[in-house]
Amino acid sequence: MSRQPHSIDELQDIVSRLPSTRNEDWKYTDLASARDISSRWLAAGRESLSLALQDEVEAVTHAIDANWIVIANGELQHPVDVNGASRLDDAPSSDTALAELNAALLKDGLRLRVEDALDKPIGILMIDGTEDASVSQAYVEIEFAPGASGEIIEYHASKGDADQYANTIVSVAVGDAASARHLRVQNRAAHHVQTGHTSVSVGRDANYTMSGFDLGGGLIRNDVIIDIAAAGAEVSFDGLYLAGEGQHIDNHTRVDHRVGPARSRQEYRGILNGHCRCVWNGKAIVHEGADGTDADQANHNLLLSEKAEIDAKPELEIYTDDVKCSHGTTVGQLDETSLFYLRSRGLDKRHATQVLTHAFASDLVARMPVDAAKEALATVVEHRLAELLDSDPDTFS
Amino acid sequence: MATESENIESLVNRRYEHGFVTDIATDSLPPGLDEGVVRAISARKNEPEFMLEWRLQAYRQWLTMREPEWAHVHYPKIDFNAISYFAAPKSDEDRPKSLDEVDPKLLETYDKLGIPLHERARLAGVAVDAVFDSVSVATTFKEKLSEAGVIFCSFSEAVIEHPELVQKYLGSVVPRRDNFYAALNSAVFSDGSFVYIPKGVRCPMELSTYFRINAANTGQFERTLIVADEGSHVSYLEGCTAPMRDENQLHAAVVELVALKDAEIKYSTVQNWYPGDENGKGGIYNFVTKRGDCRGANSKISWTQVETGSAITWKYPSCLLRGENSVGEFYSVAVTNNLQQADTGTKMIHIGRNTSSTIVSKGISAGKAQQAYRGLVRIMPQAEGARNHTQCDSLLIGKECGAHTFPYMEIKNPSARVEHEATTSKISANQLFYCRQRGISEEDAVNMIVNGFCKEVFKELPMEFAVEAQALLNVSLEGAVG
């Protein structure tokens, strides 16, 4: 199937249909900047010179020992010498404007099939960097064959002062009795925009574990949709978002339990400092007949600044009775007695805060499913956390 | 297992006991809604000009508004021109001065409900402003209340007797154009209750209104306004049952509470309107706007509700916590069975410093019912030191029912402490087995477990209501337990 060419008008039309805040799922996240960047880029002829990205690519690929595939500004970098990886011409068309945009503007899609047990993680680095405002698309399909097991690292990065909007779609199919471990790191430049959609289907007795880390970016929206359509599935996912001055990070998750027994659990944690806003919306839907479902959601937030805002919404929709579902959400500050304890031991406020926020974040780093990346990730998280604490001068005044 | 399910069957099939129509001729307006109807309602009640003007503005605003569709409920579209907007009992001209003068048929109605008005009033020391359809027909203990300076009367009376208070507070908590149904209510409200507690007065008795919807095809649009002046205290009880009939009835009430400095209002509701039959036919549409404004420092508003009736419930008793140190509370037990649908919850808007709120919501869903908790906790940037704890638990009974939770938390101040917990489960086989092996029957065991599940809310109810609440739970819920 060859890709349908789209006229500028058709493309502008898709851009104008990107979700607005009138849509309940987008109530707290305004994609005006994504529409604006896209529309300017389309009007300017869809061309933008690529920046040299070699240093940034090496910084990531050398730090984490994995078989890397690099997608730069939406283009697959050759050679791709990873078993089971191949280029895709097209992304499937879909009914959402974001998916339409992805399909219409996609340069290179990527398909990855894991046949048996991987001895080394496969890393996919999606990196953008251009001279002028630009828009990039990525589409990745990952399939774990029945009984296969392995680790996937999805790393998003960007460079440059020009406006950028990246729209990525990743779909993961975990076959029966397969075991997939997925690490997702988003560490874009401070003002860049990304909408990321991850959909996962989990087979019979399969196991899917994911950790997402949102460290950078300006306006970031992640959708994680997990579909449990076979019995015996075990799903576990975590997310950590660190938001500083000017950042907006929105995590929407949805788990569909269509068949039971199956288990899903998720825990998202956020640390917010400076003028920023984070959104967490976790939804678990237990469909009719999904007996023996056990679903658990947790979301904890630390607000360090008066200008930070968190909008949290843990949702449960349950259509059968043989279930055990729970959710818990907390919003608060650092425990004053803990702070006092550290201060009484001679730590200044900033240092004490760093120790405590580090502890808050480190649980999720420790639980992260890809061992090869643990050390590198811990360093990045620590660095980002220190940066975050210094981003709002008022916090320690 | 067989006896268990038979037992359940028989209980599930129990009929609604409070379904009957009292045969009193009513003086109704023909169905339909336009400015003429609004004027006619106002004229019949001899309202002053400001009230008519207020209604007309509300009506014009209502025309520009759209019916809300976001709730997790499904029902056929309402034809607002098929509803008659005014019905009053015939004996309106010579209203009874005391209970003895009340139409015996009316008293009989209350008897059937198991709440003999006079007895209950005497024994419990409760003043009752009974809303029978749209006009208040009996008010007791007025004298004792007026001694204390408390104003407790029907809304129509308040408009005539205390226009300055009505003008000052009406619409100040729920503005006319707050939402579609509030606007409709503002245009056509028939009657309701008005309470004013003067400065420093602790209301000497619990105030109570019994609502009933009676004439077929008549939507009822009550308006309740309670103002607690500085340092005062009042507890208000609202309860309702409705006769059985086939057509859906729309009920869109508005309740406004104002608590000034150091004042406290406790508002308790037991709602048992006709939920429709086991096929979902008939039943009341209960689209209510209830909101309390903690306007002064150290004020407190507490909502407690036991919701067992109505085919569709759309109700979010809320608190605006403006005053420093003000407190909002919401305790709710909601039961849905058969094809009932409920989308209910609360909003706590923290505006003042050191405000706190507590939300405890217990939902029980049985049969094919769908129930949703929808709540909002918003901490405004200036609400330093705000505190919220929310707990919402759902109990599921049966394979085909649903329980949903949509809690919104919007936190814009870092000193806030907000916690939300929710669980959903069915009665565990282990719990039942434990009770059974101690010699407790299946039904009693389920009763115990369900009562334990709701205990936190029941203990907030005034004593007068606690008994009735338990009885209601028996009728509407236990029947479905298994």
B84, β-bridge pairs = B218
For residue A325, which residues of chain B lie inside 8 Å, CB to CB? 423-425
Which of B407, B414, B426 lies closest to A322 in CB terms?
Answer: B426
- Give contacts of A339 with chain B, Cβ < 8 Å: none
The average confidence (pLDDT) of chain A is 92
Q: Is B414 close to A325, i.e. CB distance below 8 A?
A: no
From the list A310, A320, A323, which residue is nearest B411 (CB)?
A310
Work out how many domains chain B is built from and give that number.
1
Q: Which of B371, B382, B420 to mutate to test the interface with A (most CBs of A within 10 A)?
A: B420
| pLDDT digit string, tens, across residues A348-380 | 988 899 999 999 999 999 999 999 999 999 999
Tokens of residue B349, six digits: 């808007």
Instruction: Name the band, by pLDDT with cuts 50, 70 and 90, for residue B90.
Output: very low
Handedness of CA A57, A60, A63, A66 (dihedral sign): negative
User: Phi and psi of A243, rounded to 5°?
Assistant: -120, 130
B396 vs A317, A321, A333: nearest CB: A321
Residues of B with Cβ-Cβ distance to A319 under 8 angstroms? 400-402
C-alpha B450/C-alpha B452 separation (Å) is: 5
State pTM to two decimals.
0.83
CB B133 within 8 A of CB B89: yes
Query: What local confidence, expressed as pLDDT, does residue B122 receive?
Result: 37
Q: Smallest Cβ distance to A315: which of B402, B405, B421?
A: B405
Q: What is the largest CA-CA distance in chain B?
A: 70
**A15: pLDDT strictly greater than 90:** yes
Tell me the pLDDT band of A262, cut-offs 50, 70 and 90.
very high
Which of A25, A285, A300, A331 is the best mutation test for B, with the most CBs of B within 10 A? A331
Q: To the nearest whole angstrom, how far is the Cα of B433 from the nearest Cα of chain A? A: 17
Q: What is the mean pLDDT of residues A34-62?
A: 91
Angle (CA) B419-B392-A26 rounded to 5° is 70
> Is A206 a residue whose pLDDT tops 90?
yes
* H or E stretch at B108: helix B104-112
Q: Reduce the DSSP state of residue A204 to 3 states and report it.
A: coil
How far is it, in rounded angstroms, from Cα B60 to Cα B39? 13
For chain A, give the number of residues.
397
Least confident range of A206-220, A253-267, A321-335:
A321-335
Peptide bond into B243 cis (omega under 30): no
Distance CA B128, CA A281 (A): 45
Instruction: State residue A189's pLDDT score.
Output: 93
Question: Closest approach of chain A CAs to the CA of B335, in angstroms?
Answer: 15
The residue segments making up the domain with residue A125 are 8-333
What letter would DSSP give residue A386?
A: H
d(CA A342, CA A354): 11
pLDDT recorded at residue B212: 42
User: In chain B, pLDDT over 70 holds for what percent of residues?
Assistant: 75
Put simply, the answer to whether B414 touches A24 (Cβ < 8 Å) is no
Residue B10 maps to a domain? yes
Residue A308 has its nearest CB partner, among B414, B422, B425, at B414
Question: Does A231 fall in a domain?
Answer: yes
The Cα A20–Cα B199 span in angstroms is 49
> Do the Cβ atoms of B420 and A311 come within 8 Å?
no
Q: For residue B375, list chain A residues with Cβ-Cβ distance below 8 A.
A: none
Model pLDDT, residue A228 = 96
Q: Do B416 and A319 touch (CB under 8 A)?
A: no
- CA distance, residue B353 to nearest chain A CA (Å): 14
Is the pLDDT assigned to residue B95 strictly greater than 70?
Answer: no
CA gap A303, B383 in Å, rounded: 14
Please indicate, yes or no, if residue A157 is contained in any of the structural domains: yes
* pLDDT at residue number B33: 87
For residue B322, the Cα-to-chain-centroid distance in whole angstroms is 23
Q: Which tokens is B65 given?
A: 């508004």
User: In the structure, what pLDDT confidence band is assigned to residue B107 with cuts at 50, 70 and 90?
Assistant: low
Least confident of A63-72, B110-119, B299-308: B110-119
CB atoms within 10 A of CB B90: 10
Beta strands in B30-84 (DSSP E): none
| Closest to B282 measured CA to CA, from B313, B311, B246 | B246
pLDDT computed for residue B100 by the predictor? 57
Considering the domain boundaries, does residue B206 fall inside one?
A: yes
Does residue B114 register a pLDDT over 50? yes
Q: Name the token pair of B89.
A: 């009992």
Nearest to B423 among A317, A326, A333 (CB): A326
pLDDT band at B152 (very low <50, low <70, confident <90, very high): confident
pLDDT beyond 90 at B283: no
Distance (Å, rounded) from C-alpha B172 to C-alpha B64?
A: 21
Answer yes or no: is B349 within a domain.
yes
Mean pLDDT of chain B: 80
Nearest to A143, CA basis, from A118, A169, A172, A110 = A172
pLDDT digits (tens, 9 = 90+) for B327-352: 999 999 998 888 889 999 999 999 99
- DSSP symbol at B231: T
ipTM of the complex: 0.82
Q: What is the pLDDT of residue B125?
A: 36
Residues of A in contact with B408 (CB under 8 A): 311, 313
Contact criterion met (CB below 8 Å) for B329 and B303: yes
pLDDT (mean) for B397-420: 90
**Please, which pLDDT band fits residue B179 given cuts at 50, 70 and 90?**
very high
Q: How far apart are CA A316 and CA A325, in angstroms?
A: 8
Q: Is residue B94 part of a domain?
A: no
Structural domain includes residue B462? yes
Contact between residue A208 and residue A174 where contact means Cβ atoms under 8 Å apart: yes
Per-residue pLDDT band for B31 (boundaries 50, 70, 90) equals confident
Average pLDDT of the segment spanning B443-470: 79
Tell me whether residue A64 is in a domain: yes
Segment (H or E) for A63: helix A54-63
Q: Is the peptide bond before A261 cis (omega within 30 degrees of 0)?
A: yes
Residue B27: the pLDDT is: 65
In this prediction, residue B99 carries a pLDDT of 53
Q: State the helix-helix crossing angle for B35-44 and B49-63, rounded to 10 degrees.
A: 150
Question: d(Cα B427, Cα B441) in Å, to the nearest integer?
Answer: 15
Nearest-by-Cβ selection for B420 from A306, A309, A314? A314
Instruction: Give the pLDDT confidence score for residue B92 in this predicted structure.
Output: 41
A387 falls within a domain:
no
pLDDT at B123: 33
> What's residue B243's pLDDT?
47
Structural domain harbouring B242: 2-85+148-480
Any domain includes B14: yes
Which DSSP state fits A115?
-
Residue B321: which of B283, B287, B294 has the closest Cα?
B294
Average pLDDT in the B141-156 region?
Answer: 82
pLDDT range class, residue B105, cuts 50, 70, 90 = low
Query: Any alpha helices (H) in B297-367, and if so which ranges?
Result: none
Q: Total structural domains in chain A?
A: 1
Q: Is the pLDDT of residue B482 over 80?
A: no
Angle at B420 between CA B414 and CA B422, to 5 degrees: 165
In this structure, what DSSP letter does residue A83 have?
A: T
pLDDT in tens, B232-271: 999 998 875 544 444 557 888 999 999 999 999 999 988 8
**pLDDT tier at B457, thresholds 50, 70, 90:** confident
pLDDT band at B19 (very low <50, low <70, confident <90, very high): low
Q: What pLDDT shows up at residue B30? A: 79
Placement of tokens 């004229």 in the chain? B43
* Contact indicator for B21, B216 with CB cutoff of 8 Å: yes
Size of interface A-B (CB pairs under 8 A): 111
Interface touch A315/B423, C-beta < 8 Å: no
8-state DSSP, B29: P
Q: Which of A268, A277, A321, A327 to mutate to test the interface with B (most CBs of B within 10 A)?
A: A321
Q: Please judge whether B406 and A315 are an interchain contact, meaning their C-beta atoms are less than 8 angstroms apart.
A: yes
B94 Cβ contact partners less than 8 Å away, ≥ 6 residues apart: none
In a domain? residue B324: yes
Express as a percent the part of chain B with pLDDT over 90: 38
pLDDT in tens, A153-196: 999 999 999 999 999 999 999 999 999 999 999 999 989 999 99
Interface residues on A facing B, Cβ-Cβ cutoff 8 A: 24, 288-289, 291, 301, 303-306, 308-333
Label residue B397 by pLDDT band (50, 70, 90): confident
